[in-house]
Amino acid sequence: MAGGALMTTEVQAVLEFWFGPGDEDLESIRTQSDLWWNAEPAVDEQIRDRFGALHRAVVNGERDGWLATPEGRLAAIIVVDQFSRHLFRGDRQSYAWQALGQQLCMDGIAAGADLQLSPIRRIFFYLPLEHAESLDDQARSVSLNRQLVAEASEPFRSQFENYLGYALEYQQVIQRFGRFPHRNALLGRENTAEECAYLGLSEDSPGASPSA
């Protein structure tokens, strides 16, 4: 298979796995939500089997050709930002490519690539900013999610309002702590007394499982 055809096939495989093969109607979004937001060991294993090698190629810069199209850039963002969390759940490596995901996102926004995608796909295009331990990135995430709500038609608006709610919650955590306390244990960071109270831990506890 020629290089261009292989690249297209790989991008399609990532996007169809993540968004489903059909139209992005409300029912398909609800169906895919189990994949998107729930921590299921069986899904982690499926991603490991299907996309483990592809993840290594993407983070090593071997699929930079994907970035020439909005769909390809989105696929790269999903591999870096989402698949990393499945492949390395419970391991500090799940956060190893945060900066790469954020750069892919910001470069794409600067080029207008995000605006060529459907609203639900833009949610995942912007997620690296929501995952960032940065006030500026969090502010950008909230602004972009507000824009999606403003643009959404019924019956999708309530779904995007829900996503905005999560973006606001993440922003509030970073405003309060400057980082996500749930990551401290995996990243070897010592909890402050305030973070222990927030996590429901005693002050000598090393941390808790990550959720952000």
Each residue's pLDDT tens digit, 38-71: 888 999 999 999 999 999 999 999 999 999 999 9
Helices 119-130, 98-111: crossing angle, 10 deg rounding: 130
The predicted pLDDT at position 208 comes to 43
For residue range 140-169, list pLDDT tens digits in order: 999 999 999 999 888 889 999 999 999 999
d(CA 104, CA 86): 19
Contact criterion met (CB below 8 Å) for 129 and 164: no
User: In the predicted model, what is the mean pLDDT of the chain?
Assistant: 91
Length of the chain: 212
Give CA–CA dist 76/63, Å, rounded: 8
82 DSSP 8-state letter: I
Helices (H) and strands (E) in the chain, counts: 11, 0
Least reliable range by pLDDT among 13-27, 109-123, 170-184: 13-27
| CA geometry: angle 173, 177, 179, nearest 5 deg | 80
Reported pTM: 0.90
Instruction: Say if residues 174 and 138 touch (Cβ distance below 8 Å).
Output: yes
Neighbours of 25 (CB within 10 A): 13
Instruction: Give the residue among 133, 45, 27, 40 at the shortest CA–CA distance from 87.
Output: 45
118: left (phi over 0), alpha (psi -120 to 50) or beta: beta
CB 122 within 8 A of CB 148: yes
Q: Name the residue with higher pLDDT: 207 or 122.
A: 122
pLDDT at 96 > cutoff 60: yes
Quick check: 144 and 126 in contact, CB under 8 A?
A: yes
**How much is the pLDDT for 207?**
44
